[in-house]
Structure 1
Amino acid sequence: MIINVGARTDIVNYYTPWLLNRIREGYAYSRNPFVRENVYKLKLTPGDVDCLLFCSKNYKPILEHIGEIDEKYNILCNYTITAYGRDIEPKVPSIDQSINTLEKLSDIVGKNKILWRYDPILLSEKYTVEKHLETFEYIAEKISPLVSRCIFSFVDMYKKVEENMPEIISLTLGDKERLLKGIGRISKKYNLYTQTCATDEIYEKYNIHNSGCTTREILEQAHNVVYKNVKASGMRKNCRCIPSRDIGAYNSCLSECKYCYANSKPDIPKNVTKLHDESSPLLLGHLKETDNLIDIEVMRYIEPKQTTLFDF
């Protein structure tokens, strides 16, 4: 079973003490965001977890613990560093602060377990194509030796994104082509393997590969084991990722990013997080008498190691 620690909210940045408690106790509860009375019990013991899949914009809160976690679990760290400032990502560390933290993370867990996320790419009067390419190169030059690859995607124009960011300028085909040419050129310059996420468009002619962010190839490269060929699944169209179980909760990320997919409105988490209790198995709140607690069967995705004559 792959445990997702970051798709619904930035657990690493804001809820590391809770996560450490869940790891120590060996389980977590996860409330179904659509059928609220259904709560799933997920095992977090090393023997039941194929991978702890992290995704965060700030690994500083967990740095002193990540080495110990890495010794017990297979981990994969998606680290998001974008071109945006406090006007769009109000509570996210600066680019240079993020690079400094990434350097430390890479020293601890190694580059094969770190993916640089440069997404979503969106345009505004301030964040032009030129600004993106200038910033992408600035970051790539510094961190390409510290990560296994770069993953990017263009912004999905959900209704709530349009409402929260009226200043977004729609990407034209010309804008996309200039971005793709520039990202491909910069990636080649710094020997950085760069790929897309959740798209059916082919960009190989730009030196940009098609893939997902949690595929067999990426996991096997990170962990030096063989993963089963299971059918990809995901909430986003064209997702190629291996299925995972999320232990987070929507509307609980405090970064206040204006383009956020997981928060309905940027200010909602300020009140929702009052429900957070570090000792609770749930990220938000506690189990209710009316809840339906469901034990999730552990599905192992790592192939058993084959015994050979050299093992005797």
Structure 2
Amino acid sequence: MIISASRRTDIPAFFSDWFLKRIEEGYVYVRNPMNARQVSKISLAPEVVDCIVFWSKNPAPMMEKLGRLEGYAHYFQFTLNAYGRDMEANLPPLDERMDTFRRLSERLGRHRVIWRYDPVIVNGRYPVEWHRERFGYMADKLGDFTEKVTISFIDLYPKIGGSIQGKDVHELSHGQKEALAESFAGIAHAHKLNIDTCAEDIDLDAFGIEHARCIDDRLASALLGCAMDLGKDKNQRPACGCAESIDIGLYDTCQNGCAYCYANHSQTTRRRNLQAYDPDAPLLCSRVTELDRITERKMKSRRDGQMRLPGL
């Protein structure tokens, strides 16, 4: 199985001690986001965890702890945008984050650190030309340290309505998406980077832009040196190409302060969750109560040891 850590929060930035304690103890509890009283016990034993996919905007706090993941295949989805604090309130300066990106790549290898330029927001402060200039600047700095950049365009989820109010944020037109995609593709290819889109319906094949598989069984297979038997994740949006995975995060816990974030629904809930954070607890930012029903999930590796592949 593949562990997603996590689409719901930034574990490397804020909860790496908790995560590594779970690795040490070999299991984690995860609340069902649709039914909070349902708790799954997930094995993190190396023999069943095929790969770990980390999602982060600032994995610097985890950098010195990566040695504790020996025996686990893993890679990073690293989001690097150039917005100001009106959009990303609590992130370190861009150049500092790009330095973290480069150091992480030097440690893990450029194939294991994927640049995400996502989401693309166009308004008066961030016009199309601004994105072209910033994307080019970042590609110059990061091009030697990754093999791929993944882009996506802003989706106006109902839950972000309050946080983007007054920021002149709107969905991009088809023409804006194509114009930006063509520019991004030209810059990416000039830096010998592959480029794809995350969960986008728009067809950009004409510019050499593919549809992404962010939870990527192909990359996991290459890291493991064997084939994997994984299907498409049916719990994601139809345009999402991700392979099956188990997410171990908790909504309403991320502290990056991004105005466009779909994972924080309530500041009151977020504050309450953070007060409950205990790096030694099996649940992230939560405590088991007598009302919870804990079920042990049946886990197994999806590796096909009979089909060996050349590793990376």
Indicate the TM-score class for this superposition, using the shorter chain for normalisation.
over 0.9
Structure 2 residue aligned with 1:116: 115
2:304 counterpart SS class: coil
Structure 2 residue aligned with 1:235: 236
Structure 1 residue aligned with 2:37: 37
Structure 2 residue aligned with 1:190: 191
TM-score of the aligned structures, taking structure 1 as reference length: 0.93
In the alignment, is the contact (CA less than 8 A) between 1:31 and 1:38 conserved in 2? yes
Structure 1 segments of 4+ aligned residues over 4 angstroms from their partners: none
TM-score of the aligned structures, taking structure 2 as reference length: 0.93
For the aligned residues, what is the CA RMSD? 1.7
Structure 2 residue aligned with 1:293: 294
Structure 2 residue aligned with 1:88: 87
Question: Distance in 1 between the 2:234 and 2:42 partners?
Answer: 19
Alpha-carbon spacing, 1:137–1:265, altered in 2? closer, same or farther (3 Å): farther
Question: Distance in 2 between the 1:262 and 1:159 partners?
Answer: 12
Question: Distance in 2 between the 1:31 and 1:194 partners?
Answer: 34
Question: Distance in 2 between the 1:266 and 1:203 partners?
Answer: 37
Mapping 1:1-312, distance limit 5 Å? 1-69=1-69, 71-166=70-165, 167=167, 168-265=169-266, 268-306=269-307
Alpha-carbon spacing, 1:126–1:59, altered in 2? closer, same or farther (3 Å): same
Equivalent position amino acid for 2:245 in 1: S
Alpha-carbon spacing, 1:199–1:262, altered in 2? closer, same or farther (3 Å): same
**Residues matched between the structures, number:** 306
- Kindly state the Cα deviation for residue 122 of structure 1 after the two structures are TM-superposed: 1.2
Question: Distance in 2 between the 1:147 and 1:122 partners?
Answer: 23
* Structure 2 unmatched runs, 5+: none
Question: Distance in 2 between the 1:294 and 1:306 partners?
Answer: 33
Question: Distance in 2 between the 1:38 and 1:226 partners?
Answer: 33
Structure 2 residue aligned with 1:310: none
In the alignment, is the contact (CA less than 8 A) between 1:203 and 1:209 conserved in 2? yes
In the alignment, is the contact (CA less than 8 A) between 2:116 and 2:151 conserved in 1? yes
Identity of aligned residues (%): 33
1:72 counterpart SS class: coil
* Structure 1 unmatched runs, 5+: 308-312
Equivalent position amino acid for 1:296 in 2: R
2:119 counterpart SS class: strand
- Kindly state the Cα deviation for residue 23 of structure 1 after the two structures are TM-superposed: 0.9
